[in-house]
Amino acid sequence: MRRIPAPPSAVSINLELEDGEIWVDPEKIVRVLVNFIANSIDAMAGEGTLRIASMFQQGADNVCQIQISDTGAGMDEETLKKICQPFFTRKSKGTGLGLAICRKIIEAHKGRFTIKSKPQEGTTVVITLPVASSCQEC
């Protein structure tokens, strides 16, 4: 599993986490979060802000949203269209499998994710997972 690099001292981390529970395979979801957080730290090239937030929404959709935002380099539309394709990467080191694997894990948990990004403005990933009443629903 990929490790989260230690953030440089010029990267500030803001955590905005709501209390709540979701039933997931913790090892797999940690793998997803590590991948997205490591990508964010990489994109900031030594300085910026990383924001990690979780929110629980009740109502017709009982879901948990996890947002990971960075003030990094961002991505253009062409990159965004290809980013989840297996073996696509713009990094010198990497296989291009990270986001494809993340998608499979999130979908296996009956969830989804979106990526919004603009060059020079940063990227926000929103992971939406259902709030299950028991593990059998996962």
CATH number of the domain that 62 lies in?
A: 3.30.565.10
Task: Give domain status of residue 6, yes or no.
Answer: no
Question: pLDDT digit string (tens) for 52-84?
Answer: 999 998 877 789 999 999 999 999 999 999 988
Whole domain around residue 79: which residue ranges? 12-130
Which two structure tokens, joined as six digits, stand for 56?
């629980």
Which two structure tokens, joined as six digits, stand for 79?
């990159």
Whether the CB-CB separation of 115 and 124 falls below 8 Å is answered with yes
Query: What confidence score (pLDDT) does residue 134 get?
Result: 47
Task: Give domain status of residue 56, yes or no.
Answer: yes
Task: Give domain status of residue 7, yes or no.
Answer: no
Query: What confidence score (pLDDT) does residue 133 get?
Result: 57
Task: Give domain status of residue 135, yes or no.
Answer: no
Query: What confidence score (pLDDT) does residue 56 get?
Result: 94
Taking the C-alpha atoms of residue 79 and residue 117, their distance in angstroms, rounded to an integer, is 10
Whether pTM > 0.85 for this model: the answer is yes
Any idea what the Cα angle at residue 104 is, between residues 14 and 90, rounded to 5°? 65
> Which residues in the chain land under pLDDT 50?
134-135, 137-138
For 95-102, the CB contacts below 8 A with 24+ separation are 98/2, 98/35, 98/39, 99/35, 101/31, 101/35, 102/31, 102/32, 102/35, 102/36
Task: Give domain status of residue 1, yes or no.
Answer: no
Task: Give domain status of residue 28, yes or no.
Answer: yes
Taking the C-alpha atoms of residue 38 and residue 22, their distance in angstroms, rounded to an integer, is 23
Looking at residue 85, what DSSP letter applies? S
